[in-house]
Structure 1
Amino acid sequence: MKKTYSALLFSLFIVALGACSQKETTTSETTYSGGKLFIIGGGSRPASLINSMIDESGIREAGYALVLPMATTLPDRAIESGKKQFTDNGILAVGAINFIEGETPTKAQLDSVRNAKLIYIPGGSQNRFMDVVAGTEIEKAIWESFNKGNMIAGTSAGAAVMSEKMITGTQLLRPDDSGFKVIEQGNTDLADGLGFIKNAIIDQHFVVRSRFNRLLSLTMENPNLKCIGIDESTAIVVSGDKVKVVGLSQVLVFDAQGKAPNLQGVKLGAKDINLSIYLDGDEFSLN
């Protein structure tokens, strides 16, 4: 009974925040030109990284954060840790909604999403997250929040969903392999993500988990897209086409510069792939 009562109080809290924010933004929606993305490569999130996310979002001045834990099978744990990273760094206006696949969200829940100053998507399975939101009013509300100038942030699976072409983690040709051991065509599965980044593909846990073969394959198969590997405890802040690196490790960007690959069977080959390795404070363009 106590748990149910607490959940009810929380729901009323976050819905009230959404309603208040909606009133505040109604007259100024036309002034927004798109929000920011804060894309974390997974792993531990030091206070410096969380504070960068908070500061970039502007949430210290106004608004609230909202955790969307649908990527994980342990949403209560994701909500607890997701909220704690904000409250530990001075942000008390933070809540969460765990939408369930197939259930119709209420108008109040959707208002809470579209009016959140910062939406945070924890890790888990990017496929599970998209199964819940793809083609729904929830996805539309997330986009509406972004288009109002708010921040969409995520880590691990929450990073993978940011691009239009989303790495699922599945190997199509070698489903029993534990890692991507070869560089070949047609092995790395892609699906539709949220689509905030249309000219790049995002990979995460990149250096720690040695995901070079996976991203190199995608670089050659998608020569007109940049392929971005974000390591753990590191993030990129995306504002339009401008990207800034923050965190403890590195971000690698592969660019085939529009050149089609060479093929021998399913083996991929290419010349002059551009590789850049960026550190904290470095900036680059998605163009």
Structure 2
Amino acid sequence: MKFTHLVLLVITTLVSISLFSQKNSVMTTKGTMLIMGGDCTNDFFISVFAGLVGSIESNIVIIPTAMEDKYIDSERDMDFLKKPFKDIGFKNINVVHTREFDVANSDSLNRILLSADGVWITGGRQWRLAKAYNGTKIQRSLKSLLNQGKVVAGTSAGASIMGDILVRGDSKDSTKMLGDYQTGFGFISNFAIDQHHIARNRQFDMFELKNKRPDILGIGIDQNTAIILNENKFRVIGKSYVTIYDATRWSEERDTIYPLEKNNKQFYTLSRGYEYDITKRKFISKKDREIASYDEEMIKNITGTYQQTEGLKYGQDLKIIVTFEKNDLYFEQSWNNAKYKVEYHYLTTFFRPNSISAYHFTKNKNGLINAFTFFQFQHGLTE
């Protein structure tokens, strides 16, 4: 065996030990989560939410319980809460909120929640959500919605509550990583989410938690940034970065995953377009993409011509034509007049086999696929 092959074998073995000696992180529900790092109640993220839930005609519920009472105790406050969603075009908006255990267990409140196609959990303090809803029908109804394939979105405090480990859940000190409320809603197991991450210089705070719970998968999501999580995979969207704490260090430049020794305080970041597998605990490279099956309805919806509407560089006109021929999907690219067979990955993501290229499709606020983002690893085109 050559020395270089031996080194690669040792590295692969170390990575495997690092990744699989830990408890798994996994979605405990089906459905889709839009998990946002804060300052995300704006047109872009609400439009993404609308596309995920189906359209602006869908029924949505806002849960503002993380907020202070003074901001949600009047009809005027409720109108202010609904306004960004109404401005996008949503018409069927309800608010579910209580601080009373009995009310959280009431059929009347849960009936409203269970009628939703999507739920938006606001920012504030995440311990208020844990105190009000952990162990109640509200928590179970949210899981039920996800298991029906529906959408739960959360920003800031609404993001942190989605994991089973609650970050910054102390009711008196928001800087504590583990406080008097330590358990989130548990939509994802062995998982901790911090937010406002780079904007508030929180990059090293996660190690306080990792010192106590080294087996957890931790992520930090910056402001104006989010992940869309589905089938144990997520994609980064927005303007900034998602920080990964998975006991490895990944370098795109070197195309290498470095296993870290115990108590090594390193992390890495992913920008928009990059994807990550929470069960395998590694970013999704071209060789990691798994072919998923698609049905006739998807083919019907995806066939057509699409324009990339954002992230264009150097004046490029990026357009693709999607066709279905002899049971295969083909994408024809305007920028090089090339036609490629593509495979379905997950959640309207397609890729070219044996290629660094991927196509992320987006749905507009009316629920129609209307644009795409062409993404390449290793310094290629991104959003």
Q: Taking structure 1 as the reference length, what is the TM-score of the superposition?
A: 0.73
Which of 29, 36, 39 in structure 1 is aligned with 2:35?
A: 39
1:256 to 247, 255, 258: 247
Deviations 1:125-147 (A, max 9, x none): 11111111111112111111111
CA distance in 2, matches of 1:284, 1:211: 21
Q: 3-state SS of the aligned residue for 1:159?
A: helix
Partner of 2:230: 239
Structure 1 counterpart of 2:209? 218
Q: Deviations over 1:147-175 (max 9, x none)?
A: 1111111111111100001113549xxx8
| 8 Å Cα contact 2:40-2:155 kept in structure 1 | no
In the TM superposition, what whole-angstrom CA distance separates every residue of 1:36-63 from its partner, at most 9, and x where no partner exists?
1111111243322221122122244x53
> What letter is aligned with 1:67?
I
Task: Choose from 214, 217, 220 the match for 1:229.
Answer: 220
Larger radius of gyration: 2
CA distance, structure 2, for counterparts of residue 89 and residue 201 of structure 1:
31
Deviation at 1:65, TM superposition (A): 0.6
Give the secondary structure class of the aligned counterpart of 1:212.
coil
SS at match of 2:88: coil
Q: TM-score, normalised by structure 2?
A: 0.56
Whole-Å separation in 2 of the counterparts to 1:226 and 1:216: 11
Q: How does 1:44-59 map to 2 (within 5 A)?
A: 44-59=40-55
SS in 1 for 2:141: helix
Contact 2:58 2:90 in 1 (8 A): no
Mapped to 2, the partners of 1:69 and 1:99 lie a distance apart of 9
User: Structure 1 residues 146, 50: closer, same or farther in 2, change over 3 A?
Assistant: same
User: Post-superposition shift, 1:93?
Assistant: 1.3
Aligned AA (2:210)? T
Residue 52 to residue 195, structure 1, CA distance change in 2 (3 Å): same
1:87 is matched with which residue? 86
Q: Which amino acid aligns with 2:108?
A: A
From 183, 191, 195, the equivalent of 2:186 is: 195
Which has the bigger relative contact order, CA under 8 A and spacing at least 6?
A: 1
**Distance change (3 Å), C-alpha of 1:80 and 1:252:** farther
Aligned to 1:69: 64
1:136 and 2:136 matched: yes
Bigger fraction of residues in helix: 1
Decide which moves more: 99-108 or 141-150.
Answer: 99-108
> How many residue pairs end up in the alignment?
235
1:235-256: per-residue Cα shift (whole Å, max 9, x none)?
1111121101111111111112
Partner of 1:115: 115
Match of 2:101 in 1: 102
Identical columns (%): 29
Q: Which amino acid aligns with 1:63?
A: S
Over 3 Å counting, the alpha-carbon distance change for 1:201 and 1:83 in structure 2 is: same
Confirm or deny: 8 A CA contact 2:40 2:225 kept in the other structure.
no
Segment of structure 1 superposing worse, 227-236 or 276-285: 276-285
Please say if residues 233 and 248 of structure 1, whose CA atoms lie closer than 8 Å, have aligned partners that are also in contact.
Answer: yes
Deviations along 1:77-123, one digit per CA (max 9) or x if unpaired, are: 76444422221112211111222323335423212212311111111
Tell whether the 8 Å contact from 2:221 to 2:243 is kept in structure 1 after alignment.
yes
Deviation per residue, 1:170-214 (Å, 9 max, x gap): 49xxx88x857xxxxxx7436110001113210000001111221
Counterpart CA distance in 2 for 1:95 and 1:147 is 21
Q: Identify unmatched segments of 5+ residues in structure 1.
A: 1-32, 181-186, 262-269
Task: Work out whether residues 168 and 175 of structure 2, in 8 Å CA contact, stay in contact via their aligned partners in 1.
Answer: no
The AA in structure 1 aligned to 2:47 is N
1:111 counterpart SS class: helix
How well do the aligned residues superpose, as a CA RMSD in angstroms?
A: 2.6
Q: 1:59 touches 1:65 (CA, 8 Å); kept in 2? A: no
